[in-house]
C-alpha cells in the first residue's frame, strides 16, 4: 500500500541525521538595557532549551538577557568545560552569562559551586530585573526542582517594593497548567538549536539539540488546549514553548493573566511585559 505520509516522516528522519554533522560559529549582537531578563538555569544548556521568550524579549522589546548559571552540573570533572561551553552559547545569542556581585563567593573566577539563596538575593538586588525565568516546582529533575525553590525563597527575602514578572519553565516535567504559549519562527528556533549545539560534549553523547524543533511542535499540540482551553481551536503555530506567567508583587506571587494567552510572532510582547 502506498502511504503518502512516508516521505513526510522520512524527511524528518533524514533531516535529523544530516544535521548531526553541522557546526556553527559567530555571535549575535548583545543588547544593553535597564530592562533586564534573568534566566536562572539549573544546568548549562537549560538557558537555550527554554530561552525562546527571553530571546524574543531581547530582539523585539530591546531587553537585556542575563543567564544566571545556578550550577555547572554535578560532574566536577566537566564543570570547567561546561562553563566554557555555556559562555560560547550565551555569546552566540547575544546574552550575558552572569554569576553574581564581585563580593559573592560564587562570583570568583573558577568557582563552580551551586548558587544559594543569599547569592540570588544579591543578584536580584543588584540587577532589579523586569522578568525572571526559572523551572516550575515539578520539573522532575532534582536540580530543576531545587532551583525553583531556591529562587522563590530568595524572592521572599526581597523588600516589599520589589516586583517583577515570574516565568516558570518546563523541560523534564510538563506543567499541567501553563497559561502562556509563545510562538517561534524558523529563524529564531534555528538560533536556539545552534546555541544549544555549543554545549559540545553534552550533545555529543545525546544530540538533543536536534530534537528541539519536534519538542516545540509537541508544545503546540499540548498548548492549544492547555493554554487555550479544552476543545479550543489550536493556533496555526509551527513551533512554540509553554510557560506559566505570574507577577511577584508585595512579597507574594499573583496570577499574571486572567486567561491563557498565545503570543504569535506578530504579537507585541510589551503588552504583557
* Interval 112-142: pLDDT, tens: 999 999 999 999 999 999 999 999 999 999 9
CA distance 102 to 59: 29
Q: What percent of the chain has pLDDT over 90?
A: 90
CA distance 91 to 172: 25
Average pLDDT over residues 37-57: 98
Alpha helices in 94-207 (DSSP H): 117-127, 142-156, 186-197, 200-205
Look at residue 81 and tell me whether its pLDDT is greater than 90.
Answer: yes
**271 neighbors 257 (Cβ within 8 angstroms):** no
CA distance 81 to 90: 14
CA distance 163 to 179: 20
Q: What is the pLDDT of residue 73?
A: 93
DSSP calls for 32-81? --SSEEEEEESSTTHHHHTTHHHHHHHHHH--EEEEEES-S-S-HHHHHH
Burial of 88 (0-12, 13-18, 19+ CB in 10 A): middle
Look at residue 206 and tell me whether its pLDDT is greater than 90.
Answer: yes
C-alpha cell at 151: 529562587
Q: What is the pLDDT of residue 109?
A: 79
Q: What is the pLDDT of residue 110?
A: 82
Look at residue 103 and tell me whether its pLDDT is greater than 90.
Answer: no
Q: What is the pLDDT of residue 106?
A: 85
* Interval 252-266: pLDDT, tens: 999 889 899 999 999
CATH 3.40.50.10320 fits 33-271, yes or no: yes
Kindly calculate the radius of gyration of the chain based on its CA atoms and give it in whole angstroms: 19
* Interval 134-189: pLDDT, tens: 999 999 999 999 999 999 999 999 999 999 999 999 999 999 999 999 999 999 99
Average pLDDT over residues 67-76: 95
Q: What is the pLDDT of residue 256?
A: 86
**89 neighbors 199 (Cβ within 8 angstroms):** yes
For the entire predicted model, the pTM comes to 0.96
Partners of 64 in beta bridges: 36
Using alpha carbons, list the distances in angstroms from residue 87 to 32, 47, 54, 67, 111. Answer: 17, 11, 17, 10, 15
Q: What is the pLDDT of residue 157?
A: 97
Average pLDDT over residues 199-205: 95
Q: What is the pLDDT of residue 107?
A: 85
CA distance 172 to 83: 22
**173 neighbors 140 (Cβ within 8 angstroms):** yes
Q: Which residue has the cell 549545539?
A: 197
Amino acid at each position: 500500500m502506498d502511504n503518502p505520509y512516508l516521505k513526510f516522516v522520512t524527511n524528518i528522519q533524514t533531516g535529523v541525521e544530516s544535521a548531526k554533522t553541522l557546526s556553527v560559529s559567530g555571535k549575535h549582537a548583545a543588547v544593553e538595557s535597564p530592562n533586564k531578563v534573568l534566566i536562572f538555569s539549573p544546568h548549562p544548556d537549560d538557558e537555550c532549551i527554554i530561552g525562546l521568550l527571553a530571546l524574543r524579549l531581547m530582539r523585539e522589546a530591546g531587553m537585556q538577557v542575563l543567564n544566571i548559571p545556578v550550577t555547572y552540573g554535578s560532574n566536577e570533572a566537566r564543570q570547567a568545560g561546561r562553563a566554557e561551553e555555556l559562555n560560547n552559547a550565551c555569546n552566540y545569542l547575544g546574552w550575558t552569562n552572569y554569576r553574581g556581585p564581585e563580593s559573592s563567593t560564587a562570583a570568583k573566577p573558577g568557582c563552580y559551586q551551586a548558587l544559594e539563596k543569599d547569592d540570588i538575593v544579591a543578584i536580584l538586588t543588584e540587577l532589579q530585573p523586569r522578568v525572571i525565568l526559572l523551572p516550575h516546582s515539578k520539573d522532575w529533575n532534582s536540580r530543576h526542582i531545587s532551583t525553583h525553590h531556591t529562587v522563590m525563597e530568595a524572592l521572599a527575602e526581597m523588600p516589599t517594593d520589589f516586583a517583577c514578572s515570574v516565568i516558570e519553565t518546563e523541560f523534564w516535567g510538563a506543567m499541567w497548567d501553563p497559561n502562556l504559549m509563545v510562538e517561534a519562527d524558523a529563524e529564531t528556533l534555528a538560533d536556539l538549536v545552534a546555541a544549544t549545539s555549543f554545549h559540545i560534549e553534552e550533545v555529543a553523547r545525546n544530540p538533543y539539540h536536534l530534537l528541539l524543533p519536534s519538542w516545540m511542535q509537541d508544545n503546540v499540540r499540548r498548548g492549544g488546549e492547555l493554554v487555550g482551553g479544552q476543545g479550543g481551536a489550536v493556533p496555526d503555530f509551527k513551533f512554540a514553548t509553554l510557560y506559566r506567567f505570574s507577577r511577584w508583587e508585595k512579597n507574594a506571587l499573583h496570577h499574571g493573566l486572567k486567561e491563557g494567552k498565545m503570543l504569535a510572532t506578530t504579537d507585541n510582547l510589551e503588552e504583557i511585559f
